[in-house]
Amino acid sequence: MGPNGRIFTVHTEAVVWIWVKNNGPTATVAAEIRDVAGVPSKWGDYFVAEAAWDQKHSATTVIPHEGRRKLKVASVARAPQRGFWFWTSEGGKEVPGWLWWMGDAEIADVRLEVVLTNTSTDHVATCRGRIEIPREPGDSTFELTS
């Protein structure tokens, strides 16, 4: 559903993915996105309690020793309107969270924290991310630091 209740197809310019590698024993890993800044103020204290693992439709996934899984974080759209959203797996489905439909001149500098929890040991790993969306969505960048 788009602006003014219209239904349309979104043309995605970029998807932010994070590859998560498990260096320990096989584990079930939960993912959250916290401490989000740089989004519209009407979003309030925004976070994604149940982040989306690629094709898993769940906030948790099993990662074997030395295995890798993709965490689907966010998307940037270019048409029919510039837009941005985080992905969530709430309700057992991989769906977009709140949508930010951006004006032509609007730019974004979104900051976030990715929290990964081994549900068996309660070991937590965090990292900080930054998504910059300039006027041309195809020039968007994502950086991640531990």
CATH number at residue 59: 2.60.40
pLDDT digits (tens, 9 = 90+) for 56-79: 889 999 999 999 999 999 998 887
| Unique residue bearing structure tokens 């929890």 | 117
* CA 60 vs CA 29, 67, 83: distances in Å: 5, 15, 27
Positive or negative CA dihedral for 1, 5, 97, 144?
positive
H or E element, residue 9: none
How far the first Cα of the chain sits from its last, in Å, is 36
Q: What percent of the chain has pLDDT over 70?
A: 92
| Unique residue bearing structure tokens 């590698």 | 21
Chain-wide mean pLDDT for the chain? 89
Q: Which domain holds residue 102?
A: 8-145
Residue 54's beta-bridge partner residues? Answer: none
What SS3 class is residue 43? helix
Structural domain contains residue 53: yes
Structural domain contains residue 55: yes
Flag whether pLDDT at 6 surpasses 60: no
If one counts the domains in the chain, the total is 1
Flag whether pLDDT at 91 surpasses 90: no
Q: Which of the four pLDDT bands, split at 50, 70 and 90, describes residue 85? A: very high
Flag whether pLDDT at 5 surpasses 60: no
Q: What's the DSSP call for residue 11?
A: E
pLDDT digits (tens, 9 = 90+) for 96-135: 999 999 887 788 999 999 999 999 899 999 999 999 998 8
Structural domain contains residue 46: yes
Structural domain contains residue 47: yes
Structural domain contains residue 66: yes
- pTM for this predicted structure: 0.86
Flag whether pLDDT at 94 surpasses 80: yes
Structural domain contains residue 3: no
Is residue 82 exposed (0-12), middle (13-18) or buried (19+ Cβ within 10 Å)?
buried
Question: Would you say how long the chain is, in residues?
Answer: 146
Structural domain contains residue 139: yes
Structural domain contains residue 1: no
What one-letter code names the amino acid at 89? Answer: S
